[in-house]
Amino acid sequence: MTDINLSDASTLESGRVARQQRKWQSLRALLRNPIGVIGLIIVVATVFIAVFAPAIAPYSPSAIAFQRLQPPSMDHLMGTDEQGRDTFSRIVYGSRVSLQVGIIAVLIALVVGGFLGVIAGYFGGRLDSFLMRVVDILFAFPGLVLAIVIAGLLGPSRRNAMIAIGVVFAPAFARVVRGTVLSVMSEPYIEAGKVVGSGNMRLIRLHVLPNIFAPLIVLVTVYLSSAILSEAGLSFLGLGTQPPEPTWGGMLNVARTYMEILPSMAIFPGLAIAILVLGFNFLGDGLRDVLDPRLRER
Amino acid sequence: MGKYILRRLVMLIPTLLGMSILIFGMLRLLPGDILDIIAGTDAQVNEEQMEKLREAMGLADPIPVQYVKWMGNMLTGDPGNSMRSGEPVAELLARALPITLELAILSVLISTIIAVPLGVISAVKRDTPLDFASRVGGLIGLSLPSFWIATLMLLFTSKYFNWTPSLKYVPIYENPIANLKQMILPAIAIGIQLMAIIMRMTRTTMLEVMGQDYVRTARAKGLQDRLVLYRHALKNALIPVITVIGFQLGALMGSSAIVEVIFGLNGMGNTLLQGIFNRDYTLVQAATLYLAIVFVLINLAVDVLYGFLDPRIKQG
């Protein structure tokens, strides 16, 4: 009897040690991956810009203090907009909205979808089939269309854009988490944990959650890029954060009226969106190379 | 095969029912309806008239009753009249759907034609600068917002070619050239992300297939490289790519909505947006449900096609 317990305990222990080692290997491997490193730099730089926006932006983003529709110059790196506000300062502040909405929306999706996915995968049975049925139904809607409908009906605001994007992304998280949990459930260490009498909560916390971590990281990074794109799309349509608060999507929308006089107005906000999204996509690509065991073997 | 399709069609019924309940519930439970909008724009309307309007529009009934009435009408093919303009929603959507479908088909065609060869080249020349360039290019393509591309397209065509999109939609059967002139730019703008996705997927599956035994066998028996590539590798590599294209069509409709606004095309996206802003329930619920049905049917078609292409799945 003691024999079995010992070997079970060591199975559990070896799993934990292997995870620790893998974590450091992964980080080192990521830093050797050029695409991943570029992505990391872009993302960290944008976070830095968003946090220190007041120090970086030369002017207030809402100060209507300059001549309208100026082309880029030394005083105004990206020119001024139709109301005489400094475009560069507005782009700097706009990074806050993009990151905030993107991160919170993905957190909503992660918490809601992840919770449903773990429950469905861990307990299985009828609960699982019901939950997956609901997920299928949500999946059957074109994503951005659903986000537009939800954001539009809740009323255009920053909070509602976060909710809309989060709800639309949640099914994807539920599905991936459920799949990963199912594959983890067949591992010997879960069996071992059950044999030594661990409760459900303890098993989920100690053995299921840590093992679905790697695929979740990749998923979160990839969906952050989609969330930022969706946020930009919603604010472009006037369904996101409302003016006068600067958003990249909103700035691009206004620019359409003036772009023949001042093309730079339409170029910079779009460039900002593309660069940040690219950063998350690069980072996600690098992480996938590093963390996805199926790819690692190749 | 016929049985399989039939079974899948039957399985769609609960999904579609669930979707209709979801759409309907969302519209009714969220705050604000069309009467608030009318009241906001027209100060002349008093409480009593509002109540009459509410009853005339069927909004005074309990929500489940409203749902059953709506479903009954939908099943007879009548989605009702627009609450805003009074026009039959069926007519509005019949005008809008072809535009969005044409955009979707065009952008799938364009992106597939460009992306599949790029993906194959990338896989064949694996780990060369060319492969690296197309991988980075793919990631960049994934990151470009379609509405930005569309805006820049309009900027350049109007600035350098003095061309602006005509405001009236010309159907393809009336004047194919005028129609394509109108649709090609928005289709490309929508298709760039899809192009990147197809390219990346083709590369991955080609790499996978090229490591398979049957490809090695084909090589070993002395077949020309090119024949191996096309007859054995590509044919098998394309099967998952087709699935991805099917799944992406939904995302395509989302970006199509925004690009339609930019190019002034009255497709499903633009129509839906107007409906949302007006709280036009009949229009929004019908438009969303139709889009979802189209999407679900496309996915079914992809699955069926998949079965034809990969005989192993046919029994499934």
DSSP string, A203-228: HIIIIIHHHTHHHHHHHHHHHHHHHH
- For residue B234, give the CATH number of its domain: 1.10.3720.10
In a domain, A67, yes or no: no
Q: Give the number of domains in chain A.
A: 1
Cα distances (angstroms) measured from residue A267 to each of A104, A276, B54: 27, 15, 46
B15, with CB counted inside 10 A (0-12, 13-18, 19+), is: middle
CA distance A125 to A34: 44
CB contact under 8 A, A148 and B276: yes
Of B5, B233, B250, the C-alpha closest to B116 is: B233
Residue B11 has a pLDDT of: 83
Q: How far is B9 from chain A (nearest CA, A)?
A: 14
Contact A246, A97 (CB under 8 A): yes
Residue B152 to residue A150, Cβ atoms within 8 A:
no
Least confident of A165-179, B50-64, B93-107, B265-279: B50-64
The pLDDT tens digits for A165-197 are 999 999 999 998 898 888 888 888 888 888 888
**Inter-chain touch A140–B19, beta carbons under 8 Å:** yes
Which segment of A222-231, A238-247, A264-273, B213-222 scores lowest on mean pLDDT? B213-222
CATH number for the domain harbouring residue A211: 1.10.3720.10
In angstroms, the separation between the Cα of residue B37 and the nearest Cα of chain A is 12
In terms of residue numbers, what domain contains B282?
A: 89-309
SS3 of B196-221: the string is HHHHHHHHHHHHHHHCCHHHHHHHHC
Q: Is residue B19 part of a domain?
A: no
Which pLDDT value is given to residue A294? 53
Round to whole Å and give the CA distance between A43 and A46.
5
Q: For position A47, what pLDDT does the model report?
A: 96
Based on the structure, what is the number of domains in chain B?
A: 1
Is B314 a member of any domain? no
Do A263 and B155 count as a contact with CB atoms less than 8 A apart? yes
pLDDT tens column, B233-255? 888 888 888 888 887 877 787 78
Whether residue A63 lies inside any domain: the answer is: no
Predicted confidence (pLDDT) at residue B43 exceeds the cutoff of 70 = no
Q: Is residue B294 part of a domain?
A: yes
Of A39-43, A107-111, B78-82, B112-116, which gets the smallest average pLDDT? Answer: B78-82
Backbone angles phi, psi at A86, to 5 degrees: -75, 115
Of B144, B155, B251, the CB nearest to A142: B251
> pLDDT category, A21, cuts 50, 70, 90?
low
Give the range among A24-38, A169-183, A271-285 with minimum mean pLDDT.
A24-38
State residue A4's pLDDT score: 43
User: A32-36, A203-207, B306-310: which has the minimum mean pLDDT?
Assistant: B306-310
Q: Is residue B30 part of a domain?
A: no
- Tally helices (H) and strands (E) across chain B: 13, 0
> Which ipTM value was assigned to this complex?
0.85
Domain span including residue A170: 2-55+82-296
Query: In chain A, what residues touch B142 (CB-CB under 8 Å)?
Result: 225, 277, 281
Is the pLDDT score of A33 beyond 80?
yes
Is residue A66, in this structure, part of any structural domain at all?
A: no
Task: Write the CB contacts of B210 (distance below 8 Å, at least 6 apart in sequence).
Answer: B123, B124, B233
Residue of B147, B251, B296 lying closest to A236 (CB–CB) = B147
Q: Which of B286, B303, B272 is nearest to B80 (CA)?
A: B286
How far apart CA B29 and CA B2 sit, in angstroms, is: 41
Residue A60 belongs to some domain of the structure: no
Structural tokens at position B250 = 């939904």
What does the pLDDT read at residue B39? 67
Whether residue A170 lies within 8 A of chain B, CB to CB, comes out as no
In a domain, A73, yes or no: no
Percent of chain A with pLDDT over 90: 43
Q: Is the C-alpha dihedral spanning B225, B229, B231, B236 positive or negative?
A: positive
Instruction: Indicate the average pLDDT of chain A.
Output: 85
**B43 lies in a domain?**
no
In a domain, B262, yes or no: yes
A31 min Cα distance to partner chain B (Å):
17
A255 in any annotated domain: yes
CB within 8 Å: A153 and B262: no
- The answer to whether residue B280 is domain-embedded is yes
Asked whether residue A121 is assigned to any structural domain, the reply reads yes
For residue B81, the 8-state DSSP code is B
Q: Is residue A36 in some structural domain?
A: yes
* B100 in Cβ contact with B256 (< 8 Å): yes
Residue A186 sits at φ, ψ, to 5 deg, of: -90, 0
At residue A17, the pLDDT reads 60
